[in-house]
Amino acid sequence: MDLEILKDEESAYQRVLEIRSQFRPELFAEASFALPKDREYAFAYSSDITLRILSYLEVAGIPFNQADPGHGIGHWIRDLINAHLLLEKLEFEPVHILTGMAGGALHDIGCAFVPRYNEPSTPLRHAEVSGLVLDQIFSECDFGLTRAQRLLIQWAVMAHTLYSVPQKVMWRGREFITEPYLDLDKDQKPLYGIWIARWVDSFEAHGSETFPARHWITLSEEHKDFNDRQFFAVKFSEHVRLILRTQEEIERDHGKYTMLEHLRRLNNDQATIHRKHDFGRTLKIMETKRERMRGFLRGVTEPLKLFTEKERVRIAERWTSFLSNVIEPSQAGLNAAGKLEKMFFSLDSKIQNAWCNGFEIAIQDYENWRKDLIRIFAGRGLTLDLYNLPFVGDSIISG
């Protein structure tokens, strides 16, 4: 599968601007007319639509092995699972269930075509490119969706990163400014379909069951990450240091968070814009994830076990297998995990030991999460077949 419009980036950027110009909050009301009014039926319908789109991408041959590890098919499918877990309580109107489920599961498909961490250098960021991927496939197949429904899904995908202030970027010798995506109605109330997609994504950036592993696998290459205010350089040997500094100390270091500081920051984000509209099921899921992450952080910063070199090798090998077979079950994941294992053994033994304590906690927490997942899906009759997932089959839940 080729993304034809990316062959001319200027045209691609103009198409993004066209999509942005077409959005207005009233689309949610327009999109509601053609949807089932019963929330339970709307949930099943939204699940079916989302699975059909993912299956279409799979058959079309989307180049998922090009996606940066941590933002590839493992993440996509756990987003699909998390969307079902969040929405099965039917707390939202059908239009928000559809927009949030599809947007939550599809928001990173653009990572198959552009690097996830090229955000500082282009207005065609991975979220915008995800919207362009949908633009192309919707031109080939509308999946029975109305124009308003398709546009809402694209908007939720493109808005998922929640850059809350205008972003300036030098691109092709010119300065471009990308404005934040509209996510509130005229009364300043949340347009929940957009926020659901963000919440689904955020579940993979919280909790020790997946986030430490997802973040670790992104470290195979140096890159720049975003800390809600600015981009900062990430280099493996510096990022995995066993330090937790004050915010002032981090700012004096040009905002360069260590991995532990990054995990702590996100775990303590209750008061940020990202969590501003949390309620109901989202709050319960987040509190469970925060408690797990607190245990992980304690495990690394206050390690209870002192491992021998042989034990560290065994744990690191198990971690590598976990990264490449479960977290990112792709060739890209396998390559990154193997490279990181070699980088890990270049670290001081004290640092290795601390992280080995964390690796064991994270793998066990994932196992507990996996068992809970199977029990919840079986007990509540959720529509998603965990043993026949798009792209990954049953690798995510078979462990």
Residues 43 and 119 placed together within one structural domain of the fold: yes
List 94's β-bridge partners, or say none: none
Give dist(CA 345, CA 238) in Å, integer: 14
- Taking a C-beta distance cutoff of 8 angstroms, is the pair 383, 47 a contact? yes
Amino acid identity, residue 109? I
Here the CATH number for the domain that contains residue 64 is: 1.10.3210
198 and 216 both lie in a single domain: no
Q: Which domain holds residue 339?
A: 208-386
- Would you give per-residue pLDDT tens digits along the chain (399 residues)? 899 999 999 999 999 999 999 999 999 999 999 999 999 999 999 999 999 999 999 999 999 999 999 999 999 999 999 999 999 998 999 999 999 999 999 999 999 999 988 888 899 999 999 999 999 999 999 999 999 999 999 999 999 987 888 889 999 899 999 899 999 999 999 999 999 999 999 999 999 999 999 999 999 998 877 666 667 788 999 999 999 999 999 989 888 899 999 999 999 987 677 788 999 999 999 999 999 999 999 999 999 999 999 999 999 999 999 999 999 999 999 999 999 999 999 999 999 999 999 999 999 999 999 999 999 999 888 889 999 999 999 999 986
Cα(212)–Cα(221) distance, integer angstroms: 16
The answer to whether residues 299 and 159 belong to one domain is no
In this structure, is residue 398 part of a structural domain? Answer: no
Q: Indicate if 163 and 65 belong to the same structural domain.
A: yes
Domain boundary among 158, 173, 202: 202
The answer to whether residue 353 is domain-embedded is yes
Q: Is the pTM of this model over 0.75?
A: yes
Last residue of a domain, one of 202, 233, 254: 202
Listed residue (220, 180, 194, 207) closest to 71, CA to CA: 220
Q: Of the residues 168, 202, 236, which one is the last residue of a structural domain?
A: 202
Instruction: Say whether both 294 and 168 belong to one domain.
Output: no
* Overall number of domains in the chain: 2
Number of other CB atoms surrounding residue 385 within 10 Å: 10
Tell me: do 234 and 324 sit in the same domain: yes
Is 21 within a domain? yes
